[in-house]
Amino acid sequence: MGRFDARLTSPLPGVRDMWRILREGGFRPKNAKQDAANVPRVAAALPSLSDDQASLTWIGHATFLVRMAGANILTDPVWTDRLPGRIPRLVPPGVAWKDLPEIDAVAVSHNHYDHQDAATFKRLPRTTPILVGLGGARWFQKRGFSDVTELDWWQSAKRAGVRFTFVPSHHWSRRGLLDQNRVLWGGWVMEGGGRKAFFAGDTGYGKWFSEIAQREPGIEAAMLPIGAYDPQWFMKSVHMGPEEAIQALDDLGAKHLATMHWGTFPLTREPILQPMERVRAAWAGQERAPANLWDLAIGESRVWGPTVQHTARSSPGKAANTKSRKAAPAAKGKSLRPKAPAKKS
């Protein structure tokens, strides 16, 4: 498989840019650990769903549990406590691994460490269906996964009654020193049971959102990143800010904005709570319906379909009693217990 440099929207930062960012103090925010104590989080059961409803639950960062058409789907699953580069997780995952329902498919946007976590994938049964961009299958196959589907932009595959379509994003990929842009990056449109959702993965703002709306009309809920944007001169081409996420929602023609990619790992300079403060201010400033901004706490769920529901939120920084958490019954025929890891041959 070749490289996908021709798919880049903008040139990536070069050596001079890296020297500049280091001279200016690097990427990490100040007081991240202290501020993380105020990141909203809840400990709640997964909501019950009717056959024509879907839900999403924010685990943290870009990880969601999406439930539709009786299937349980993970996006960019990361349950690790620390990323390479000594980047700590600031807030625990919103759903403990042991409380997950049986997973029917995993959609991976790209191979950066904060989206494709080796330690987390070790915990999944090797029969779990994995969906990735072109060039991404080999990494999973080397680790024993037997059902891995590679897709180019605009290609689709069906798993567990859900149609997954891989769509363009304004980003890039790299995992090692010599593999830059050898795996195609993108987002996912998921459709099943009469519901339709979009997961952006990592992306800057640009032309692709309007084209996604043209090719995939009827998106109801969009999981869009709002963090990792400072300094803007360095990040703008590959990461959106909160205001750009709202514009992307409009370009997509979607109703509900589910925020992500903030409050979990200290990746860039903006204060940990700033992305949520800015998206709320921009939303209110445009006099949009408050119920359509799904400004999720970690562990919080939203349901959409004929009857919209949501979980109650705890006070910022104070999780509910986790001892009382029990997962609600999953869709028909699905065990709440994770599959046992595949035995090594």
Residues 124/106, Cβ–Cβ less than 8 Å: yes
Nearest to 331 by CA among 148, 108, 118, 73: 73
What confidence score (pLDDT) does residue 3 get?
93
Tally of CB atoms within 10 A around 271: 14
Task: Please determine, looking at this structure, whether the domain spanning 47-324 carries the CATH number 3.40.50.970.
Answer: no
Alpha helices in 127-225 (DSSP H): 137-141, 208-215
Beta carbons within 8 Å of 9's beta carbon, 6+ residues apart: 170, 204, 206, 207, 208, 237
In this structure, the strands spanning 221-225 and 156-159 are unpaired
Residues 9/204, Cβ–Cβ less than 8 Å: yes
Residues 197/166, Cβ–Cβ less than 8 Å: no
In total, the chain counts a number of residues equal to: 345
d(CA 314, CA 309): 16
Q: What is the DSSP letter of 328?
A: P
**Over its length of 345 residues, how does the chain's per-residue pLDDT go in tens digits?**
679 999 999 999 889 999 998 888 888 888 999 999 999 999 989 999 999 999 999 999 999 999 999 999 999 999 999 999 889 999 999 999 999 999 999 999 999 999 999 999 999 999 999 999 999 999 999 999 999 999 999 999 999 999 999 999 999 999 999 999 999 999 999 999 999 999 999 999 999 999 999 999 999 999 999 999 999 999 999 999 999 999 999 999 999 999 999 999 999 999 999 999 999 999 999 999 999 999 999 999 999 998 654 444 544 444 433 333 333 333 333 333 334 444 433
C-alpha triplet 309, 315, 316: angle, nearest 5°: 110
What confidence score (pLDDT) does residue 313 get?
53
